[in-house]
Amino acid sequence: MTARYWRAVLVLLLVVTGCDSSEGKGDAGTVVEDGGPDAGPDGGNEDAGLGDAGTDPLACEKQHGVCAGAKRALVDGAYEPECTALSYGADYERAETRCDGLDNDCDGVTDPSFSSRVTNLEMPYVNGLSILRTDQGVFVSMSGNGVRILRLNTDLVLQGTGTVSMPWTRKDVPVGESFAAKLLRTQDGLALVYATHGPGLRPPFRTYLVPLDAQGSPKTGPEGELLEYPLVDWQGDGRAPRMATSPQGDRVVVVWRTGTEQTPPFQVMGAVTDLRGQVLVAPKVLFTSPERKQPWTSDVLVLRNEEVLVAVTDESPALGGDTVRLRRFDTHLDPVGDERSFELAYGAAPQLVELGATRGGPLESPVLLMRSRVGPPWVTQVQVVQNLFSGGMGETWSEVPAPQVVWYGALADEGVLRLAWLSEYKDHEAPSPGGDPMLGWTARLWTQDEGHSLVDRTPGLEDLPLHRYSQWVLMEKLAPRRVGALYMTSTVEGSSLDAVRYCTP
């Protein structure tokens, strides 16, 4: 009999009897690194009878990522027939969920993105969009016939839905239209602030605050009535409202545009109330626009020093360009310092982001984002302006060639700025899907993190189908190093809220 035969018999005896050899046998649940007593010249069990000649019979099925070099663990005196975390180690996951820079499920892909359908939508487009995460979930608001509030978990799976009905459906007030809403964090918890106007954009302009419970449902009074606090009752026209809370969550700032070509001048108004609607600063003029320019309230932010920062866009006639104006106001909404302005092409869509104390003092941490078209050759850019009050100028982040257009969202994540955007395009020579001229827009979804290159996050190879008036991205942090981007897709079959979850660097 050959030496190879006797070595195979010895291996069999060791397994059956549980012989306590000091070589090649680990404790239960450990990996045998060196192949046991029958290791050949290359360290493998060439004669164990479990693998082909020249292969390691103890090697695990998966060998990518954290599984590289993994060998079968010995459990209760026998090697695992199929490798598990006992063999692959503590970093292994059967389905990858961690954002740790490792290929945890050993499929050759590190920190993959995940796409999902959150819910189908009844309307072809929505407005009143906002997103806010609390300890109870990720909440999304969207306006239509009332304001719908979705509660998602951190995997962006729908957990429940609440609805804030409009005043004219609950009490004897003139019928109006809801057209803006925002979820806000207050000292009393989650709240929704929404705005209404009369039919056809006619006066009056009103805003309301509705306290929400931990599940995102409206709170009710002792007789089951909806708790609702009027904040602003403006008998003129009001458009483009923006809302923000103070850092302590005890005050609400509302800004809006008023005036029409028939009732000039165009102005941007502002007001401040407490959470019960007590007026702290009555409506007052913040900006007046030059003749023939229309202002649009773009964003408002309450800084950490309690000053109010407002961004306004003055639109020139016939798509002649935008002037983005930026100014600080004190707690009484009186101007502080000098106004800054930026000349851009039409469609600037400015947005303010507060990066927090890790980026400096209250006047150093806010940044301004703007969309710009430059050329030729014409491209659409997203520009980021830091050091707003010490002469900072725009730095180009994303850039797409014409005729694509960028629709972006932004997120401050522990002092780091993160962007997500749709690079939108429509072939106007091609027939619209189903003959609907509002369909046929398509886009790719991109993300970019401060200090890193952009990444295409579009699920699959096909572009995303969009509705003409639902081109937007909402962003929120879901977990350490994981961010969610939500967007809306539309086809002839209907519209849906979709999402991508991805890991950050």
Cα 93 to its chain centre, rounded Å, is 25
pLDDT for residue 9 is more than 60? no
Confidence grade of residue 373 (pLDDT, cut at 50, 70, 90): confident
Asked if residue 484 belongs to a domain, the reply is no
pLDDT for residue 144 is more than 60? yes
Q: What pLDDT, in 10s, does the model give residues 171-210?
A: 888 888 888 999 999 999 999 999 999 988 899 999 999 9
Provide the domain count of the chain: 1
Asked if residue 74 belongs to a domain, the reply is yes
Q: How high is the pLDDT of residue 10?
A: 38
Asked if residue 15 belongs to a domain, the reply is yes
Confidence grade of residue 402 (pLDDT, cut at 50, 70, 90): confident
Tell me the average pLDDT of the chain: 88
Asked if residue 28 belongs to a domain, the reply is yes
CA distance 152 to 136: 9
CA distance 259 to 240: 12
Q: How high is the pLDDT of residue 346?
A: 87
Region of 76 on the Ramachandran plot (φ > 0 left; ψ -120 to 50 alpha; else beta) = left
CA distance 486 to 155: 12
Read off φ and ψ for residue 65, nearest 5 degrees.
Answer: 55, -135
CA distance 481 to 61: 30
Q: What is the mean pLDDT of residues 78-105?
A: 95
CA distance 287 to 291: 13
pTM: 0.85
SS3 annotation, 371-402: EEEECCCCEEEEEEECCCCCCCCEEEEEEEEC
Bridge partners of 31? 73
Cα 19 to its chain centre, rounded Å, is 57
Asked if residue 48 belongs to a domain, the reply is yes
Q: What pLDDT, in 10s, does the model give residues 219-241?
A: 999 988 999 999 999 999 999 99
Q: Specify which of 2-16, 207-221, 315-329, 394-408 reaches the highest per-range mean pLDDT.
A: 207-221
Share above pLDDT 70 across residues of the chain, in percent, rounded to a whole number: 89
Q: How high is the pLDDT of residue 384?
A: 97
Q: What is the mean pLDDT of residues 140-165?
A: 94
Asked if residue 319 belongs to a domain, the reply is no
Q: How high is the pLDDT of residue 485?
A: 98
CA distance 141 to 162: 9
Q: Please, are residues 23 and 29 in contact by the beta-carbon 8 Å criterion? A: no
Q: How far is CA 498 from CA 63, 145, 501, in A?
A: 34, 21, 10
E strands along 153-307, which residues?
A: 158-164, 177-186, 189-197, 205-211, 229-234, 239-245, 251-258, 267-274, 279-288, 294-302
Lowest mean pLDDT among 25-39, 104-118, 193-207, 239-253: 25-39
pLDDT for residue 250 is more than 80? yes
Query: What residues make up the domain containing 23?
Result: 1-112
Q: How high is the pLDDT of residue 179?
A: 85
pLDDT for residue 44 is more than 50? no
pLDDT for residue 39 is more than 90? no
Higher pLDDT, 454 or 45: 454
Asked if residue 267 belongs to a domain, the reply is no
Asked if residue 401 belongs to a domain, the reply is no
Q: Please, are residues 204 and 198 in contact by the beta-carbon 8 Å criterion? A: yes
Confidence grade of residue 122 (pLDDT, cut at 50, 70, 90): confident
Q: Please, are residues 412 and 359 in contact by the beta-carbon 8 Å criterion? A: no
